[in-house]
Amino acid sequence: MTVAPFKARSRILSLLGDQLIGRDYLAVFELVKNAYDADASYAYVSIEELDSDDPYILVEDDGDGMDEVILVNKWLEIGNDHREKQRKARNRTARFGRLPLGEKGLGRIACHKLGNVIEITTKQKGKPEYYMRIVWDELLENEYLSDTRVEIVERRKPEVFSRDQPNGTQIIISELKSEWPRGEVRSLNRAITSICSPFEQVGDFDAELRVPGYEHWVESMWSSIDMVDNAPWSFSFKLTGKRFKWSYEFKPPPGWASRVSSRKSKSKPEQQLLLPRSSGRVVLDPAMLVGIGSISGQLFAYDKDAKISKLYPEARARNDFLKEQSGVRVYREGVRVFNYGEPGDDWLTLDLRRVNRPTEKLSNNIVVGGIHLEFVENETEDERLIEKTNREGFDENRTYQRFQKIVLAIIDTFERERSPDKRRLKQALEGAKTSFERPVETPAAELREKIQKTKYADEFLPLLDKVEADYEKMRDLLLRAGMSGVNLAIVVHEVHRGIVALYEAIRRDVDPNELKEQAHRLVHIFETIAGLLRQKGTKKTDVREVVQTAVTSISDLRFKRHHVKVEYDLPEFEPPFVVDGAFDMLLGALTNLIDNSLYWLRVRHPDIDKDEPQTRKLFVGLSNDMEDGRALIVADNGPGFVADPEDLAEPFVTGRPDGSGLGLYYASLVAQLCGGSLAFPSRDDLDLPDWVDGAIVAMVFPDPNK
């Protein structure tokens, strides 16, 4: 048996330098990060003699410096893990209390990416200065890495450092491998100046690029700090465990205060982060933060609409700034993680999210932001964010995927706050309400695909064909009538809700009779909408029967599935509680109100096991306590309204991720068409169970006895 060690050819240095680090400016960035890890207060990068035949790169810092032992045992040892051990042991630097960013021991190979000749001069305080010169071409003439030799010169009399600067490191890279045109220099400047977050001061580190003779290349570049003060919309946040604390501000254009008011809002005490439907949960589980830790940050949004953009100062400079600086960056321990937020890097797929809802969602080119992370305690290899070896982001493991979802949920909160203010601004500018249209093709296609895989395909696919055909007919009718705004949105909202309900029923493989009921209810939606659009129903409907149908035939199984205890109060009135309106129309409105309660009950009371007591409670009843007449009441013990309920009853305003903002508006419109109104009474206005302390909604209709 033969036992042999691995051998590495010297060309491995060339391969690592050229292939592990993608762009030249990222290689320079690695050297700046090394200065940060060395506890420096600054790192100055200069591209010297750029107009000569032999330009060179100079990197200087005032960090701890290195002695001969560190140079031999750490700097010249590829893959040395002393920084990783330092970070895991939570050993912070003496001067600024930093944890190291490096962990793979490969950052020094960045030098080879840049040039053929590397000169390093370094000095620790109270120790000699050391000088090392590496010529890569000569080094690589040796066949094996073990045959290479680097000479380290000790200088008792320092030539670079002085009494005024007794420690630090200077690196000179010459015989550059690439040219540095204007665009690449500007990319390098953007990388260096953004190494530390402009939104959050962590430590004291100044990184600067100097280009003697070509200062104008970078002097004209706007920094984030220059522009965020003029952002129309801003959002700051901190997420720690279950607690999601945030503040929001809208600034109208200068001189427009009389036409559209500014607005500030903030989170409620103990507010939690709401998750989109695709997450399978409604609120953040603290377990999702394992390996990530607390998350904080700032987001600033602009508007590319030419009419709005020109109302704010420095429009041209702002557009130039957004071309180069837009995007959401990530910072860990206050230092940037590349390539997040670089031009063209849409790591959150914001542009894709915006396709179906362009007026409400943020695109990557109109947002500037920073996400701040800290190294977490007791992290394991499988449960942490790990930087890729090529320094271009994190490994896309499960922890990273959770991180993405969480950040998107945070941005969704910002978007929901921003949406009504953007609408108000646009209405003030145009003098008219804007239209809205949301397609149903995507959920319908997903439903069709799901049905085709089931035994119900022959029965349900024709029904889905009818739904899509009816939708097309009603859309064409509304468009021809010039009613493509709110009314069409209501159609879409109801169809979309029906499709999602049927999809979920099929996915859960519920009882076939329930599936049939869901499918036929979806078909009947258009009859309901048609009644709504006729301005007033001609039928008489007993509201008591509407409630009984909603809570028994339709929602009873959902109450059990969501672990909700329901109380009813359905007194007999004389004369009976009858209103002018179609039965299906009122049933749809009540179902919308119940849907809202079920969602928000899950927000306030998440993670309830089927064997636990029913803490989620819903009240549905009829009341004669309202001054304006008889009322259909829906109340719960959820968190209550997240915004002014009067605003939430306006079209397109929502407090839910992925919400259409039409549920309460639909209920309000139905109430009006039946001769009533939608109200939001207080707890003292009604005789309700003692446990009701959340949202209370009432559909109020005139009492014939009054």
pLDDT of residue 452: 76
Residue 343 has pLDDT above 50, yes or no: yes
The Cα–Cα gap between 262 and 283 comes to 29
pLDDT of residue 435: 43
Mean pLDDT of 291-306: 90
pLDDT of residue 202: 47
Task: State the pLDDT confidence band at 22, using cuts at 50, 70 and 90.
Answer: low
CA-closest candidate to residue 225, choices 194, 248, 250, 259: 194
What are the pLDDT digits (tens) for 630-689?
A: 999 999 999 988 777 777 777 667 788 877 677 787 788 788 878 899 999 988 889 999
E strands, 570-615, where?
A: 578-580
List phi, psi (to 5°) of 674: -100, 15
The Cα–Cα gap between 140 and 136 comes to 6
What are the pLDDT digits (tens) for 426-471?
A: 888 877 544 444 445 555 666 677 777 777 777 777 777 777 776 6
Across 18-22, 69-73, 333-337, 551-555, which has the greatest mean pLDDT?
69-73
What are the pLDDT digits (tens) for 125-184?
A: 999 999 999 998 888 888 887 788 889 999 999 999 998 899 999 999 999 988 899 888
The Cα–Cα gap between 173 and 466 comes to 71
End-to-end CA distance of the chain: 104
The Cα–Cα gap between 149 and 608 comes to 65
Mean pLDDT of 513-518: 68
Mean pLDDT of 393-402: 88
Calculate what percentage of the chain has a pLDDT beyond 90: 28
β-strand pairing of 335-337 with 564-569:
unpaired
- Look up residue 489 and give its DSSP letter: H
Higher per-residue pLDDT: 345 or 620:
620
Residue 390 has pLDDT above 70, yes or no: no
Are the CB atoms for 147 and 90 separated by under 8 Å?
no
Complete DSSP assignment for 87-142: HHTT---TTT-PPPS--SS-GGGHHHHHEEEEEEEEE-TTS-EEEEEEEHHHHTTS
pLDDT of residue 524: 62
Complete DSSP assignment for 299-348: EEE----HHHHTTSSSHHHHHHHHHHH-EEEEEETTEEETTTTSTT--TT
pLDDT of residue 436: 44
pLDDT of residue 300: 94
Higher per-residue pLDDT: 19 or 559:
559
